[in-house]
C-alpha cells in the first residue's frame, strides 16, 4: 500500500474530506499537513490536526496569534489535561485573574449539561444529521453529542477554543469533526447539512447578511436552523458591554454610547431585534423564522446569587405568561430563532 492509500484509509482523513473549499466549494485532497482544493488549488493548513479554512476577512481575532495559541493549548491539554488548558486560555488570552479563571472553567464544564438538556428539548426536532455547530467555542454541544456517542460537525473562528473542543470530545471516545472557519465562508458544499445550530454567534460576525445566506446555502431542502442570541431591545444591560440601553439607540450611536458609559470599545457586536433577524433570513436565506423567548435555564440559575435567583424566577414567571408575550420583543433578554428551509423554492 502506498503512503497515499494508507492515509486515505484512515478515519481522520475521511472526516477531513467531508469539508469543502470555503472559497469555491470544490472537493479537497488531503495531504499529511495540508488540504488542497481540487478546483482552485488553494491550500489550507492543518493546525494540530484541525483544518484552518479561515480566509482573509474582517474578524475580531488575529489569525496568526490564534494559530500559535492553538498549538500551545493543544500541548497543555495533552500534558496537563483539559481543565488546565481551559484555565490557560482564560488567564492568558482573556487576562482573567486566578479566581475568575477557575469560576469560568466551572461554567464551561457545566455548560455540557445545558446543551444536553436543550438537545433533548427544543433542539430535538431541529437536529437532523449531519448537524453543524456554527460557533463551537469550547465545544459544549460537540462534547454533549460525543457523550451520547454522536459526531457533531463544528466550526469556529478561534482555533484556540477548537483545541478544547477536540480534547473534550475525545475524552468521550469520539473523534470530532472540527474546522477553523468563518461563518461568512463555510467550508461546506451546498445542501450538505440537515441542521445548523448557532448559539451566541450572529451578534459577533462581521457580515450578518453573508452569515444568513451561507446558512441558507449549506442546508439541504427541509433542513433546519436553530439560533440563540441576545435581543437588541432588552431591559437588561447589553450582555457584552454591561451597559444599559445600548440596543434602543440607533446603530451608529451604540459604540460611542458604550465608550462614554464604560470606556470600552464596542466592535463586532451588533444585536438584532426579532424583526431584524426575521427580515435578514427571509431576504438572504429564503427562510421564515419562528422566534421564542425562553425562560432562564435551571443550569444558569444555579450559578446565580440569592438575590439574582429570586429575580430570575420572577423574570421567568412574568415572561412566560400569555400577557407578556406581545411585549417580549421590546424587553426580553434572549430569544431562540428557528426555521426550516423550504423543500422547493
Ligand atoms: Zn477552491
Containing 180, the helix (H) or strand (E) segment is strand 177-180
Q: What is the pLDDT of residues 229-246, one digit of tens each?
A: 999 888 888 888 788 888
Per-residue pLDDT band at 288 (split at 50, 70, 90): very high
Write down the residue that cell numbers 450582555 correspond to: 239
Comparing 345 with 109, which gets the higher pLDDT? 109
Mean pLDDT of 10-35: 80
For 192, the grid coordinates are 450538505
Mean pLDDT of 130-137: 96
Distance separating alpha carbons of residues 170 and 48, to the nearest angstrom = 14
Mean pLDDT: which of 105-109, 300-304, 327-331 is highest?
105-109
Per-residue pLDDT band at 345 (split at 50, 70, 90): low
To 10 degrees, the CA torsion angle through 201, 204, 208, 214? -40
For 314, the grid coordinates are 420572577
- Check residue 280 and give its pLDDT: 97
Comparing 22 with 322, which gets the higher pLDDT? 22
- Examine residue 316 and state whether it is found in any structural domain, yes or no: yes
- Check residue 167 and give its pLDDT: 97
- Check residue 50 and give its pLDDT: 95
Residue 57 CA to ligand 1 center (angstroms) comes to 16
Q: Are 177 and 153 in contact (CB under 8 A)?
A: yes
- Check residue 17 and give its pLDDT: 62
Residue 62 CA to ligand 1 center (angstroms) comes to 23
Query: What value does the mean pLDDT of the chain take?
Result: 90
Burial of 92 (0-12, 13-18, 19+ CB in 10 A): middle
Mean pLDDT of 143-151: 95
- Examine residue 238 and state whether it is found in any structural domain, yes or no: no
Strand order in the sheet with 219-230: 177-180, 153-156, 131-134, 193-199, 219-230, 334-340, 289-292
- Check residue 199 and give its pLDDT: 96
Taking alpha carbons only, the member of 335, 228, 241 closest to residue 292 is: 335
- Examine residue 345 and state whether it is found in any structural domain, yes or no: no
- Examine residue 251 and state whether it is found in any structural domain, yes or no: no
Residue 344 CA to ligand 1 center (angstroms) comes to 28
Residue 152 predicted with pLDDT over 90: yes
Per-residue pLDDT band at 16 (split at 50, 70, 90): low
- Examine residue 248 and state whether it is found in any structural domain, yes or no: no
Residue 147 contacts by C-beta under 8 Å, 6 or more apart in sequence? Answer: 112, 116, 172
3-class secondary-structure state, position 329: helix
Burial of 199 (0-12, 13-18, 19+ CB in 10 A): buried
Mean pLDDT of 318-342: 89
- Examine residue 130 and state whether it is found in any structural domain, yes or no: yes
Residue 200 predicted with pLDDT over 50: yes
pTM equals 0.90
Residue 252 predicted with pLDDT over 60: yes
- Examine residue 283 and state whether it is found in any structural domain, yes or no: yes
Per-residue pLDDT band at 10 (split at 50, 70, 90): low
Residue 30 CA to ligand 1 center (angstroms) comes to 13
Burial of 129 (0-12, 13-18, 19+ CB in 10 A): exposed
Residue 189 CA to ligand 1 center (angstroms) comes to 11
Residue 35 CA to ligand 1 center (angstroms) comes to 10
- Check residue 277 and give its pLDDT: 97
Q: Which residue range(s) make up the domain with 278?
A: 10-232+271-340
- Examine residue 287 and state whether it is found in any structural domain, yes or no: yes
Containing 131, the helix (H) or strand (E) segment is strand 131-134
Number of domains in the chain: 1
Mean pLDDT of 122-128: 95
Q: What is the pLDDT of residues 32-66, one digit of tens each?
A: 889 999 999 999 999 999 999 998 777 778 899 99
- Check residue 331 and give its pLDDT: 81
- Tell me the chain's radius of gyration from C-alpha atoms: 20
Residues with CB under 5 A from ligand 1 (ion): 21, 23-24, 26, 37, 39-40, 42
Longest dimension (CA), the chain: 69
Distance separating alpha carbons of residues 146 and 273, to the nearest angstrom = 33
Tell me the CATH number at 101.
Answer: 3.40.50.150
Amino acid at each position: 500500500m502506498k503512503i497515499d492509500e494508507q492515509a486515505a484509509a484512515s478515519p481522520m482523513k475521511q472526516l477531513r474530506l467531508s469539508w469543502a473549499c470555503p472559497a469555491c466549494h470544490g472537493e479537497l485532497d488531503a495531504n499529511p499537513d495540508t488540504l488542497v482544493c481540487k478546483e482552485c488549488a488553494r491550500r489550507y493548513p492543518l493546525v494540530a490536526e484541525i483544518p484552518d479554512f479561515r480566509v482573509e476577512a474582517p474578524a475580531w481575532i488575529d489569525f496568526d496569534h490564534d494559530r500559535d495559541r492553538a498549538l500551545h493549548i493543544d500541548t497543555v491539554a495533552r500534558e496537563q489535561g483539559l481543565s488546565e488548558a481551559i484555565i490557560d486560555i482564560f488567564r492568558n488570552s482573556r487576562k482573567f485573574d486566578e479566581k475568575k479563571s477557575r469560576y469560568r472553567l466551572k461554567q464551561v464544564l457545566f455548560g455540557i449539561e445545558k446543551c444536553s438538556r436543550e438537545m433533548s428539548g427544543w433542539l430535538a426536532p431541529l437536529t437532523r444529521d449531519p448537524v453543524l455547530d456554527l460557533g463551537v467555542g469550547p465545544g459544549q454541544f460537540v462534547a454533549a453529542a460525543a457523550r451520547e456517542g454522536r459526531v457533531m460537525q463544528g466550526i469556529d473562528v478561534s482555533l484556540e477554543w477548537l483545541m478544547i473542543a477536540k480534547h473534550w470530545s475525545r475524552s468521550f471516545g469520539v473523534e470530532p469533526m472540527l474546522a477553523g472557519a468563518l461563518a461568512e465562508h463555510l467550508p461546506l458544499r451546498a445542501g450538505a447539512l440537515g441542521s445548523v445550530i448557532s448559539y451566541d454567534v450572529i451578534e459577533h460576525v462581521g457580515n450578518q447578511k453573508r452569515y444568513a445566506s451561507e446558512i441558507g446555502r449549506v442546508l439541504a431542502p427541509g433542513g433546519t436552523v436553530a439560533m440563540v442570541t441576545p435581543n437588541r431591545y432588552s431591559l437588561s444591560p447589553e450582555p457584552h458591554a454591561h451597559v444599559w440601553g445600548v440596543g434602543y439607540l440607533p446603530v451608529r450611536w451604540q459604540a460611542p454610547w458604550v465608550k462614554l458609559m464604560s470606556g470600552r470599545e464596542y466592535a463586532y457586536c451588533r444585536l438584532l431585534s426579532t424583526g431584524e433577524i426575521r427580515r435578514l433570513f427571509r431576504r438572504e436565506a429564503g427562510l421564515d423564522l419562528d422566534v421564542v423567548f425562553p425562560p432562564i435555564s435551571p443550569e444558569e440559575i444555579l450559578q446565580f446569587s440569592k438575590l439574582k435567583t429570586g429575580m430570575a424566577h420572577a423574570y421567568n414567571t412574568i415572561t412566560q405568561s400569555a400577557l407578556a408575550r406581545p411585549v417580549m420583543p421590546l424587553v426580553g433578554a434572549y430569544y431562540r430563532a428557528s426555521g426550516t428551509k423550504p423543500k422547493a423554492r
